[in-house]
């Protein structure tokens, strides 16, 4: 290290400004790290002094930038609605095909089945889903087609069907059918781990699964 670098490290920051890139000119690793820590301390001191100055002047606090307050408003957001928008939302919720489910007018009964000739991991995965999904049962489809299976499930009082697909002896997808009129969704599965394969085996409880959603102000979420 030459005399110029030593002098640069020992110089104080002039005018109260912090040069965050000042350490880039230092080739010595130890001195460069020391300069970075020094710049951070100086920057924190300036921020603290600025906050104190704003407080003494009676100015409001700075509002931090977050994802919520920087989000641009669009047509799907439900904030500051007038009576017409609220009426339209209520009508849309009444026409929703899953409104009866969210109003808890019935108890879900789920049928979990597989593709034809399921292998061992797929069968075990279906049995483990019955421990997670309340009021569910795992049965083989016995080479029945999806349409025939849906009709039979409706007659037996099932409200949903989950079909577990597999590829190369591994579960790779789930077909979820809401009875009797849909909708139907397909979910792709990858790297499925059974309970014995986990490092920490969870304790099977008797609680029901639920979702926690914060700041849900969009139509798609509702």
CATH architecture for the domain at 107-197: 3-Layer(aba) Sandwich (3.40)
The neighbour count for residue 133, using CB atoms within 10 Å, is 17
For residue 161, give the nearest of 128, 143, 137, 142 by alpha carbon. Answer: 137
Q: Tell me the pTM.
A: 0.54
pLDDT for the residue 10: 44
Q: What is the mean pLDDT of residues 57-71?
A: 81
Residue intervals in the chain for CATH 3.40.50.10480 = 107-197
For residue 172, give the nearest of 188, 158, 148 by alpha carbon. Answer: 188
Q: Which long-range contacts (CB under 8 A, 24 or more apart) does 23-32 make?
A: 27/1, 28/1, 31/1, 31/5
Q: What is the mean pLDDT of residues 193-221?
A: 66
Separation of alpha carbons 106 and 165, rounded Å: 28
The helix/strand/coil state of 111 is strand
Q: What pLDDT digit, counting tens, does each position of 19-38 carry?
A: 555 677 888 889 889 988 99
Separation of alpha carbons 105 and 96, rounded Å: 14
């Amino acid at each position: 290290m030459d005399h110029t670098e030593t002098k640069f490290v020992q110089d104080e920051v002039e005018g109260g400004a912090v040069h965050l890139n000042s350490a880039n000119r230092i080739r010595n690793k130890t001195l460069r790290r020391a300069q970075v820590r020094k710049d951070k301390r100086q920057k924190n001191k300036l921020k603290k002094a600025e906050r104190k100055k704003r407080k003494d002047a009676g100015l409001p606090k700075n509002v931090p930038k977050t994802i919520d307050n920087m989000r641009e408003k669009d047509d799907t957001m439900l904030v500051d609605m007038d009576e017409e928008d609220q009426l339209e939302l209520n009508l849309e919720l009444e026409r929703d095909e899953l409104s009866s489910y969210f109003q808890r007018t019935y108890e879900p009964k789920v049928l979990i089945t597989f593709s034809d000739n399921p292998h061992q991991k797929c069968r075990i995965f279906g049995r483990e889903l019955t421990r997670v999904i309340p009021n569910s049962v795992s049965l083989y489809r016995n080479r029945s087609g999806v349409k025939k299976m849906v009709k039979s499930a409706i007659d037996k009082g099932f409200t949903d069907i989950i079909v577990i697909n597999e590829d190369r002896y591994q579960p790779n997808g789930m077909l979820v059918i809401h009875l009797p009129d849909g909708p139907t969704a397909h979910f792709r599965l990858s790297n499925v781990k059974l309970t014995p394969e986990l490092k920490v085996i969870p304790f099977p409880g008797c609680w029901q699964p639920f979702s926690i959603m914060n700041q849900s102000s969009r139509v798609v979420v509702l």
